Structure 1
Amino acid sequence: MQSQFLLYGANGYTGELIARHAMQYHLLPILAGRRKEWIAPLAARLGLPYRVFDLEDGAALLAVLKEVKVVVHAAGPFEHTARTMVLACLLTGTHYLDINGDIAVFEMIKQYDAAAKKAGVMLLPGAGFDVVPTDCVALQLKNLMPRAVTLQLAFATLGGTVSHGTATTIAEKLGEGGAERKNGEIVRVRLGKKGMWVDFGVKKLFVMSIPWGDISTAWFTTGIPNIETYTSVAKKTYNYLKLQWLFNWLLRRNTIRNFIKNKINRRPAGPSDAQRKAAVSFVWGQVVDEAGKKATVLLSAPEGYTFTAHSALIIVQKILNGNFSPGYQTPASAYGENLVMEIPGVERECI
């Protein structure tokens, strides 16, 4: 087996999961990161090659990318790291994947569509739980109701926790509010502006609106002009967040964000293998047309980090087999609504 993809940020929680699952897909990644003491022990344990370099070292980055056909970029926060990796991929003709879920990052990468087409490479951010399952549900709903004007997507995880990387990204967004798509445009709104109860099939859960990546990606995939995204929260948390606007100025201070990030770093890196195995994720999607007619799709899947490891590797495998579309893509625009059904343990139902 030849090393044909680079996994940058392999020492992170999700990066390590991707590395651990790679052999299952007959893939041999080159593990990479900024510090040898983080990367070398993992590479030795898994029997994989590795490279150590900082993204700011342009010569080293370009040299390694020339060795591979695909990079899976797993080193966040992506608002700080994605552009550098994308620009390097355009120079070396390397296909780009990441596990980002940030609206602003999707919008930034989308700007390089023409350059990617010219270079013959695919730029596909959101190759994990952010946003593969929701993007596939969005496209399925669009296909069920081509004249839909409103799309709502909600997700929930029962029994899971978040990794350091995810928690840190959230901390860096504190005080910045929410977003939705209205009449084709992204508009800023209050975080938790809307809340509702959603029947996920096995359980009804309360969800609130959040700025999930689909505000960007589902528009690209479906063209539906009005999009809202939700996640499950305790009702009392939702009630508290109604007052968050009073404190946003404080939450945006670096001292507060750094305090929270220090607390995050003292926690476990992410859910244990046992926790991930016991947890389950759910996605609910609904579209409405101008006449008020509705279509709904329910999906159950493995826990989000486990899902991400599988989905990223499945997409890498497709690219290495020559199955890719040059330019900026979303998971469903590149591989269709049934991509999600290739992940082990996924079940789907149309209502």
Structure 2
Amino acid sequence: MSAQIWVLGGTGRSGRAIAEQLAQRGLPAVLVGRDANRLHTAAEQSAAETLLAPSLAAAASEIRRQRPGVVINTVGPFTETAPAVVDACRDVRCHYIDLANDVAALSAVFDMHDAATRVGHTLVTGAGFGVTATESVVVKLCEGRPAPLRVRVDMVPSLAMEEGTVGEALIGTLLGGLEGHRITEGRLTRAQMFGDAVRLTLPDGSQVTTASMPLGELLAAQRASGARHVLSASSEAPSSFVIRAMMPAVSTLMRSERLRSFTVRRLARVRVKARERSRDHSWGHATIIWADGETREGWLRLGDAQEYTGAVPAEIAKRLLAGEGSPGAYTPAALFGSALAESCGGEYLLPRPVRR
């Protein structure tokens, strides 16, 4: 297998963060993108190589021709980009990693599990902050225990913003979370969007409100725990009554594929101003309840959420090249266990379990 690690969307913020983390691990990246000047500038930051690909189809063709060892996909919306990239990776038995974080995108990769198993390559989806931080806490808390009854996960990101456009990956993820869902009796069911608000006291003593936002963490937590009831929440979810009242109408409009694609393209070009991160740490949190009444709560403390989103796929790529993966489709902690988060800079804080 080739030792090359390709980063699709290598000029974006996530792509550059991944390249830097790969360089720190002694694994230079090949940055793949559409703009030669931006590729050159990005590559200078991490001593990476570059590959100009004017379209996703061109990138897929190059994967088949050059046969890299691992491809990391940072290009959204992942429901559109993942199938074509995974198909190319399957043809040459190349491992695949992406940063998807919405229910539809993760589900699409999970549906490719059997095909990946047959050819012997590994697919890892959700390799960013939200899925990895919360799923890792769930895996840690469930070690040595049977499947729980209920799980709630909360992601509390803190990241500095650089000036520039928002990008299709982020917009696709956010729009993918506009339709309320939860896991009920083991099945994905509709639920109130931005409901179930909880005021959390973080381990550092500060407080934050999280509300339901069914992104990729929902599926990852359910698959990692086997729980019959799962809710995912985020501090990024609006909690005002007015916003919650508007969401059913917005969600209905977003079911139109044409309108959705148009909205993603337009919003992806919106420019944001640079700002410092809002708090010192980012947090993944989980509360788990078993049928016997035992309740466990845990936290994963991290630094900047964007830096973590660079570290996770870089660490996974390193392990896949070392032959540590398994054929099929996985989320990060489901494949590599709770220690993966620690190898990427996370620290677990686990209060004593209680019985109710």
- Do the structures match in fold with TM over 0.5? yes
Which residue in 2 is equivalent to 1:12? Answer: 12
Paired amino acid for 2:217? D
SS of 1:130's partner is: helix
Which residue in 2 is equivalent to 1:299? Answer: 300
Which residue in 2 is equivalent to 1:205? Answer: 208
Q: Take 1:10 and 1:260, find their aligned partners in 2: how far apart are those partners? A: 20
Alignment of 1:104-143 (within 5 A): 104-143=104-143
Q: Take 1:48 and 1:292, find their aligned partners in 2: how far apart are those partners? A: 52
Q: 1:326 to 1:231 in 2, by over 3 A?
A: same
Paired amino acid for 1:284? H
Q: 1:324 to 1:277 in 2, by over 3 A?
A: farther
Alignment of 1:1-351 (within 5 A): 4-53=4-53, 54-57=55-58, 58-64=60-66, 66=67, 68-143=68-143, 145-158=145-158, 160-161=160-161, 164-165=166-167, 167-170=170-173, 172-173=175-176, 176-202=178-204, 203-233=206-236, 237-245=239-247, 247-248=249-250, 252=254, 262=266, 265-268=269-272, 275=276, 279-344=280-345, 346-351=347-352
The TM-score, its normalising length taken from structure 1, stands at 0.87
Shift of 1:220: 2.1
Paired amino acid for 2:80? H
Q: Take 1:248 and 1:186, find their aligned partners in 2: how far apart are those partners? A: 20
SS of 1:191's partner is: coil
Paired amino acid for 1:282? W
Residue deviations 1:118-172, cap 9 Å, x none? 1111111111213111111111222264241100000113464597235422564
SS of 1:187's partner is: strand
Q: Take 2:280 and 2:242, find their aligned partners in 1: how far apart are those partners? A: 26
SS of 1:243's partner is: helix
Q: Take 2:81 and 2:33, find their aligned partners in 1: how far apart are those partners? A: 12
Q: Take 2:339 and 2:262, find their aligned partners in 1: how far apart are those partners? A: 41
Q: Take 2:259 and 2:223, find their aligned partners in 1: how far apart are those partners? A: 37
Higher mean displacement: 195-204 or 68-77: 195-204
Q: Take 2:63 and 2:213, find their aligned partners in 1: how far apart are those partners? A: 34
Paired amino acid for 1:341? E
Number of equivalenced pairs = 343
Q: Take 1:14 and 1:89, find their aligned partners in 2: how far apart are those partners? A: 21
Shift of 1:334: 1.2
SS of 2:195's partner is: coil
Cα contact 1:157–1:279 (8 A) shared by 2: no
Paired amino acid for 1:265? R
The TM-score, its normalising length taken from structure 2, stands at 0.86
Q: Take 1:234 and 1:321, find their aligned partners in 2: how far apart are those partners? A: 38
Q: Take 2:125 and 2:212, find their aligned partners in 1: how far apart are those partners? A: 22
Cα contact 1:151–1:285 (8 A) shared by 2: yes
Which runs of 5 or more residues in structure 1 are unaligned?
none
Shift of 1:27: 0.6
SS of 1:242's partner is: helix
Q: Take 2:25 and 2:318, find their aligned partners in 1: how far apart are those partners? A: 7
Q: 1:204 to 1:46 in 2, by over 3 A?
A: closer
Shift of 1:249: 6.3
Cα contact 1:285–1:298 (8 A) shared by 2: yes
Q: Take 2:218 and 2:331, find their aligned partners in 1: how far apart are those partners? A: 12
Cα contact 1:152–1:228 (8 A) shared by 2: yes
Q: Take 1:86 and 1:171, find their aligned partners in 2: how far apart are those partners? A: 23
Q: Take 1:234 and 1:137, find their aligned partners in 2: how far apart are those partners? A: 20
Higher mean displacement: 256-265 or 308-317: 256-265
Q: Take 1:72 and 1:18, find their aligned partners in 2: how far apart are those partners? A: 9
Shift of 1:259: 6.9
Cα contact 1:13–1:164 (8 A) shared by 2: no
Paired amino acid for 2:219? S
Give the percent of matched residue pairs that are identical in Structure 1 and Structure 2.
Answer: 21
Q: 1:147 to 1:169 in 2, by over 3 A?
A: closer
Calculate the aligned-residue CA RMSD, in Å.
2.8
Which runs of 5 or more residues in structure 2 are unaligned?
none
Shift of 1:117: 1.2
Cα contact 2:287–2:298 (8 A) shared by 1: yes
Q: Take 1:265 and 1:77, find their aligned partners in 2: how far apart are those partners? A: 14
Q: 1:60 to 1:234 in 2, by over 3 A?
A: closer
Q: 1:87 to 1:350 in 2, by over 3 A?
A: farther
SS of 1:139's partner is: helix
Shift of 1:339: 1.3
Cα contact 1:301–1:307 (8 A) shared by 2: yes
